[in-house]
Structure 1
Amino acid sequence: MSKRHFASAAIALAVATGLLSGCETAPTRLAVGQAESFAREMAEIDAVAKSADKDGAIHRYQQLAAANPGKAEPWARIAQIRFGQSAYSLAIQAAEEALARDPSNREAKSVSAVAGLRLAARSLESLRADSSLTGDAHADAQQLAGQLRETLGTPVLLPAAQAPPPKKKKSERRARPGAAPAAQTRIRDSGDPASR
């Protein structure tokens, strides 16, 4: 091999090495830049969501989700806003979009579960109010509603404004064992000599 061919081969090797090393760092820089841009955009939209413009925030989250189809965060934020608006079916849809992208997203799991329970509670309330509903369906609905209340508590199922005051347990309403009934106590304390 002549010196000229050797020099040409060395130059070609240096150019190829430079191109390859450039290929390795360019995608890395691009990915970091995209992640920073996504985080900045999320922070800006989060600020809008904290203001009164919830619909504007939802629209911007949707745009960000369309530009970043693999990201779950915009969908999880939409689910939270919809839940706060008591739009439970829309909250569930957004939560499911988030979970499709990130099955471990706790925010989306929580919104999906509680929004589903609130929809179920509404449906059960509607069934209970329907006087034409009788038989097994009515009994099943009442039993399910009771189980949900016992398991989760009424405040989880109903928003705070709709939740009834907590009921006293039967054990709290009964007289303590060994205590005198109220009527007997009143007679003894009345000062009537016949009651002594």
Structure 2
Amino acid sequence: MHPPRLACLACAFLLAACTTAPPAPKPVPAPTLAQVLSEADVAARAGQYGKAYTLLEKGGSAYPADKAPWLQLAQLKFDRGQYGDAISHALEALERDSEDKVANSIVAVSGLRLSGKALADLSRQNNLNGSLRSEAQELAKLLRASIGDDVLVPPARRTAAGGKRAAASPAPAPAAAPAAKGGADPFSGLK
């Protein structure tokens, strides 16, 4: 071979070697749902609630047919007192499993806590009247029927010694909505 041809061939081989792409990195497998739930639980226990929320929301997107990320998200929001968000996420879980007792409980209790707060606020403002009052009374009747008690919050009675208040029955009301801050009974006008 001629030296110029040999040099051309050598350059061609060198150029060909330079233009080949490096091998593509192997894709990292997506985490399993169990891994996502576990990582979110670890983050929540460490007080990293934002990280836990993000992990669970990504888990809900990655596994759209599974209720578990939405249910865990609802529980976290409920535990943090974010009842509106808890209801929203529990409803997502119920779309995937309408019979889930935990999700139904989160919706019911969160709704009661929000309603109790709203009623306490209205009572403080003396604005619980008219159709709003009658609707609240109907809801109180429904709650009484649901829990099997005539009265949602047991009446208090005065003792002979010292005039301190004591509960009329020794057992607390089984499913009464929590009283508003300051001890005000939001259902006192509904008895």
Asked if these proteins are the same fold (TM beyond 0.5), I'd say yes
Label 1:131 to 1:151 Cα distance change in 2 as closer, same or farther (>3 A). Answer: closer
Label 1:135 to 1:98 Cα distance change in 2 as closer, same or farther (>3 A). Answer: closer
Distance 1:156 1:51 in 2: 32
Q: TM-score, normalised by structure 1?
A: 0.55
| Residue identity matched to 2:177 | L
Task: Give the equivalent residue in structure 2 for 1:157.
Answer: 177
2:119 corresponds to 1:99: no
Distance 1:73 1:157 in 2: 27
Once the two structures are TM-superposed, the CA of residue 38 in structure 1 deviates from its matched residue by: 1.7
How many residue pairs match? The answer is 132
Q: Which has the higher helix share?
A: 1
Distance 2:99 2:77 in 1: 20
Distance 2:113 2:37 in 1: 28
Alpha-carbon RMSD: 3.3
Label 1:129 to 1:68 Cα distance change in 2 as closer, same or farther (>3 A). Answer: same
Structure 2, unaligned runs of 5 or more: 1-28, 145-150, 154-172, 186-191
Structure 1, unaligned runs of 5 or more: 1-32, 167-196
Give aligned-pair identity as a percent.
Answer: 30
Tell which has more relative contact order, 1 or 2 (C-alpha 8 A, sep 6+). 2
Task: After TM superposition, list the pairs within 5 Å mapping 1:45-194 onto structure 2.
Answer: 45-135=40-130, 137-138=132-133, 140-141=135-136, 144-145=139-140, 148=143, 150-151=151-152, 153=173, 156-158=176-178, 162=181, 164=183
Once the two structures are TM-superposed, the CA of residue 130 in structure 1 deviates from its matched residue by: 2.3
| Residue identity matched to 1:113 | A
